[in-house]
Amino acid sequence: MKFSPKPALYLLLTPLLCNPIWAFQSEDLTPEFSFTAGIEGPAVDKDGVLYAVNYKEEGTVGRVDEKGQAEVFLKLPKGSTGNGIRFDREGNMYIADYAGHKVFRVSPGSRSPEVYAESPEMNQPNDLAISDTGVIYLSDPNWQDGTGNLWMIPKAGELVLLETGMGTTNGIEVNPNGKYLYVNESEQRKVWKYDILPDGRVNNKRLLISFVDHGLDGMRCDAKGNLLITRYGKGTVVLVSPRGKVRKEIQLKGKKPSNLAFGGKDGKTVYVTLADRGCVEKIRLPHKGSYYSKIH
């Protein structure tokens, strides 16, 4: 029987039908508090294995299988604490070290982090994104001052400061066709869009979207160009179109999602790290992750 609501009833139902919160159910992948409150930087390697920082104790990188069982994969040098993680197409792991002002690289088959780039001018290296040409982009907030920098690492040992005096730079991502860079400012609740030039530098900065409440944290693009943003304090993942319009919002169990990554056998599972729960939640989306598709 086809349902044809009367006009008055339709008006009552419209807000419910258009509610941006999806009906998708978030599930726990790992046990609550198996990671510290510093859980961050989820990333999936070429074999589909999930990694995140600060498993059991600060300064570690944990490895998580598809059943949610985790182990310590490596420990960073004394004085270093990881934040964002990314893998390149060759399988190298890059780790932003917010405590030691470095970016580490871990080669495939190795568990020994080597310094890839470092500078005393860095504030607190936070999150990473990798372009189609292998250039690394790095967010670098100063939480105390509410400011931040944006860096580019074209190759090992070479750092280029792209912009300073920003807000608290945090989530960072390259769009699917490699033409645009997105950077958010957590405390200012703004997402900026840049054009990526042939040499890796950026220009034509413009505002993609801003929010009136709650913080912004990690970001990832799906294969259709939609930008997924974790809403720290709100406990959601918001899906934003390439034109800067909110399409959907997915409710999580925890309230402090710190970052996210695409994975699973088909690339459509999103792993979200929750600082207040010390664990990884997972949700399912209709499209693969953009970067996941490039390295698998």
Query: Over its length of 296 residues, how does the chain's per-residue pLDDT go in tens digits?
Result: 333 344 443 343 333 334 444 446 899 999 999 999 999 999 999 999 999 999 999 999 999 999 999 999 999 999 999 999 999 999 999 999 999 999 999 999 999 999 999 999 999 999 999 999 999 999 999 999 999 999 999 999 999 999 999 999 999 999 999 999 999 999 999 999 999 999 999 999 999 999 999 999 999 999 999 999 999 999 999 999 999 999 999 999 999 999 999 999 999 999 999 999 999 999 999 999 997 777 77
- Domains of the chain plus CATH, in order, are 21-295 (2.120.10.30)
Identify the pLDDT of residue 108: 96
Question: Helix/strand/coil (H, E, C) string of the chain?
Answer: CCCCCCHHHHHHHHHHHCCCECCCCCEECCCCCCEEEEEEEEEECCCCCEEEEEECCCCEEEEECCCCCEEEEEECCCCCCEEEEEECCCCCEEEEECCCCEEEEECCCCCCCEEEEECCCCCCCCCEEECCCCCEEEEEEECCCCEEEEEEEEECCEEEEEEEEECCEEEEEECCCCCEEEEEECCCCEEEEEEECCCCCEEEEEEEEECCCCEEEEEEEECCCCEEEEEECCCEEEEECCCCCEEEEEECCCCCEEEEEEECCCCCEEEEEECCCCEEEEEECCCCEHHHHHHC
Instruction: State the pLDDT at residue 165.
Output: 95
* The overall pTM is greater than 0.85: yes
**For position 8, what pLDDT does the model report?**
43
Q: What local confidence, expressed as pLDDT, does residue 295 receive?
A: 76
Give the whole-angstrom CA distance, residue 19 versus residue 141.
Answer: 33
Q: Quote the CA–CA distance of 264 and 25 in Å, as a whole number.
A: 16
pLDDT score recorded for residue 19: 44
Please give the pLDDT value at position 293: 74
pLDDT confidence of residue 6: 40
pLDDT of residue 291: 78
